[in-house]
Amino acid sequence: MSKNVLALDFGASSGRAILACFDGEKISLREVHRFVNEPIEKDGKLFWNFDELFKNLEEGIRKAFEISPFDSIGIDTWGVDYGMLKKDGSLVSLPRHYRDTRTNGLSKTLDAKELYSRTGLQIMDINTLFQLMSERDENGFEGCEKILPIPDLFAYFLTGEISAERSIASTTQFLSSKDGNWDKELLKNLNIPVSILPPITESGSEKGVLSKTVCEKLSVPPIPVTAVCGHDTQSAAFAAPFKKGEDAVFLSCGTWSLLGTELDSPVLTEKAAECGLSNEVGYGKKVTFLKNIIGLWLIQESRREYKRKGVDLSFAEIEKLSRDAGESKCFIDPDDPLFTPPGDIPSRIQKYCEETNQYVPKTTGEIFRCIYESLAMKYRMATKELELCTGKKFGTIHIVGGGVRDSLLCSLTATYCKRKVTAGPIEATAFGNAAIQLLALGEFSSEEEARECIARSEENKTYFPEESDEEKYKTFKKVISK
């Protein structure tokens, strides 16, 4: 007997409802609904269009059930953002977007060393903690009864149940690295009310059942909502084809690039803090020791900018232009704050290169090639940092997610990182989301069995390193250190 589950996957630029069918041997995926995820700007502030996103979530459930009944729903999204609930359960306001400028510089107001030792998280202005500090200063949490991370906010409006799944909670910068609970002392010291915190639930547990109102509206039965890894990175990492005992890294490559490895306990050393490495939490409370790197956002936003100027390029055309441009004569630091806000990324790349005394890319192909090579170089740097902080040697990089489609990026990563790269699955987040639901339903006996099933379900491609000029990496390091 086959078993069906529904994976609702919300990325920072689009969302999908994917019906997953397990036939006892493999998982097959069928996309039943896709939609764009675009922010709203009001009075100079950036918000998520939550109402529109929730309508699309409901539409995904309705469409999926029309195709086939399913036994569970799992929701994953991007990290760090949240919604605030009033006492009556309605939203205080639309959730703010992590690219909103309100938190700029706030991370520098706290003791970075102490904060890292408490939370083990890479310190970035976008993290929830700094958003709450901004919230405190703007309105003092007026009318706020509870806060919920975005996947848990969606689940609340489906079920009426309030809880925060552990993996998404680990992106906040106020989950204790020592005991896995909310660091209430940290919040109290910052005059942030701990009463707004929800209870924490584990990935693989039940979050609730579709409410009567939702069931009647969508004409579906009371289906359980399973707490998958609510952070899309952790659902994607679950789908990486790690072999038992293998020392390897995963690279979840989408709007963001998350490069890391799985460990049994956090690494809280000064070196790890200096490298900006995060100890997030995945399925089964495993630590995913990783680096957050701005990823295909640079390609996506550059593509949007060219489109705004009347040049509509497909991703295939972008890759061809990049190949035709030949090796890049310049580099950028993908994580430079210059590239965080939406807008004219190509012009900013030219500005960055000019200010760092490099060749300034002129053609569209040169600009995209600069992005690709800079990302691959940053992956090499992050892999070296992981090795330095763990004492391990990683022979393979498992690339999962949308970046798998980009053969140029995969081959450059293999060459510049000097490691074998396996690419796949493309729909890693959906596979991980679905597999965790199937684990909860008893279809797999272990995490290893679930991962083996994912590996059987989609063919992966392998890339091997080619010869490269070692001086280019030295040049890259010198450029981004300026």
Buried/exposed 420-459: b ≥16 CB within 10 Å, e otherwise: ebbbbbbbbbbbbbbbbbbbbbebbeebeebbebbbebbe
DSSP string across 185-202:
HHHHHTT--GGGPPPEE-
The answer to whether 111 is a known catalytic residue is: no
Going by C-alpha positions, the residue among 227, 290, 207, 205 that lies closest to residue 256 is 290
Tokens 């072999």 map to which residue?
243
Helix (H, G, I), strand (E, B) or coil at 232: helix
As a whole number of angstroms, the distance between CA 318 and CA 470 comes to 26
What is the radius of gyration, based on Cα positions, of the chain? Answer: 22
Which structure tokens are listed for 461? 């491609």
Going by C-alpha positions, the residue among 302, 462, 466, 475 that lies closest to residue 381 is 475
Residue 455's Cα: distance from chain center in Å?
21
* Furthest-apart CA atoms within the chain: distance in Å: 64
Run of H or E including 261: strand 256-263
Query: Please, how many CA atoms are within 13 Å of residue 29, restricted to the half-sphere of its CB?
Result: 22
Residue 441's Cα: distance from chain center in Å?
25
Q: Which of 76, 100, 183, 232 is catalytic?
A: 232
Going by C-alpha positions, the residue among 343, 340, 328, 326 that lies closest to residue 374 is 328
Helices (H), 43-142: 50-67, 112-119, 128-139
Which structure tokens are listed for 397? 């990089």
Sequence-ordered strand ranges (E) for 119-187: 146-149, 164-165
As a whole number of angstroms, the distance between CA 389 and CA 275 comes to 9
DSSP string across 262-312:
EESS----HHHHHHT-EEEE-GGG-EEEEEEEE-THHHHHHHHHHHHTT--
Name the amino acid, one letter, at 481: S
- Per the CB < 8 A criterion, the answer to whether 118 and 168 are in contact is no
Which structure tokens are listed for 468? 């490269």
Active site residues: 232
